[in-house]
Amino acid sequence: MDGADGVLVDFTAAQPVVLAAAHLPFPDSLREAFAALQQPGEDEIHREAMAANGLARVYAACVEALLRESDINASQVVAIGAHGQTVRHRPGLYDGTGYTRQTQHPALLAELTDIDVVADFRSRDIAAGGQGAPLVPAVHAALFGARDETRVVCNIGGISNISILPAANTGRPVTGFDCGPGNALLDDWVQRHRGEPFDDRGAWGATGSVDEALLTRLLTEPYFHAPPPKSTGRDLFHPGWLQAVLESLPSPLPAADVQATLATLTATAIARDVQTCAPDAQRLIVCGGGAYNEALLGNLGQLLPGVTVETSDAYGVPVSQVEALAFAWFARQCVHRAPGNVPTVTGAAGPRVLGAIYPR
């Protein structure tokens, strides 16, 4: 929830080409509004609508920055893929009770930019009985797959997810799912105790010690032991979830020790899933904001001996651009009425065109 990452992508070649990239931080008021919307509260409809308006204006400013940097006119852009900010993610399984909510105002974004906007990418997959997440494995396979090597791509955003890319010569399908918390709890904890939006390179957490009793209790969460397909969000892994576990301990822990333990929790959940679901993996490619956390990457390396742990930078795709590039790709798929989901990942009944188009 730190800001908006945007890329301008040219899809005319065999491989997508990023023409420009931009990051705009969220104003404190918008970040606080999104944090509050993670849990039920008073006057939610109005507060969500106001946050959606604010997000559309940040997105529009990001688009303006991309056009300015690339010297490209809005009329040359086919569409904007705008994911929005997830405030609820509660998928069901073929019973019609599941839903997902990504707050944003795509009509306002289309009005502000004079460009078609594609939004609401997850709902159709959920309507088809899927989890609506993770969606990115299709893009990960295109960018990072290999013929003779099984690879796992791990995106560490607020939530962590993995895409399992079997060696192409095996004929096995791409799979993937959400592992658990990524940066969500880490960012909240450092904000609360140090007034910083994130733990730069994991340096503060590295000064603490992992508390094994806390780690063990956190790992009892049933989500970690549920089989895929599965997905989760901040409505499960939120500060209240952590606080309830901390209050169950016999004595308070130093704040840095909690941070160190949370980093290990993220790494442990990812490593266990790799070992269980991709035992032949030779390479773990990390992207997303968590890729900047050196302590977290170090934990992954220790927990996955024999697996090369590296970032997407090594493949020419900066870690901060992978997710934005993915949703540009999903917008392109929607415009061409081509499927965007991977049913073996989400559990949907079949391939589906994802997204709703808001014309300029």
Domain boundaries, the chain: 3-132+321-358, 137-315
pLDDT at 306 over 90: yes
- C-alpha distances in Å from residue 46, one per residue of 52, 138, 299: 10, 36, 42
At residue 2, the pLDDT reads 85
* Tokens 């008021």, located at residue: 29
Query: Tokens in use for 67?
Result: 């056009």
pLDDT at 211 over 90: yes
At residue 95, the pLDDT reads 60
The Cα–Cα gap between 154 and 22 comes to: 22
* Residue range 234-251: mean pLDDT, rounded: 95
- The DSSP output letter for 350 is S
- pLDDT tens digits for range 150-198: 999 999 999 999 999 999 999 999 999 999 999 999 999 999 999 999 9
Whether 3-132+321-358 and 137-315 share one fold: the answer is: yes
CB atoms < 10 A from the CB of 135, how many?
A: 27
Of residues 296, 186, 288, the one with CA closest to residue 237? 186
Superfamily of the domain at 137-315: ATPase, nucleotide binding domain (3.30.420.40)
* Tokens 């870690």, located at residue: 319
CA 340 to the chain's CA centroid = 16
- Please report which helix (H) or strand (E) contains residue 159, including its range: strand 159-165
User: Which CATH number applies to 3-132+321-358?
Assistant: 3.30.420.40
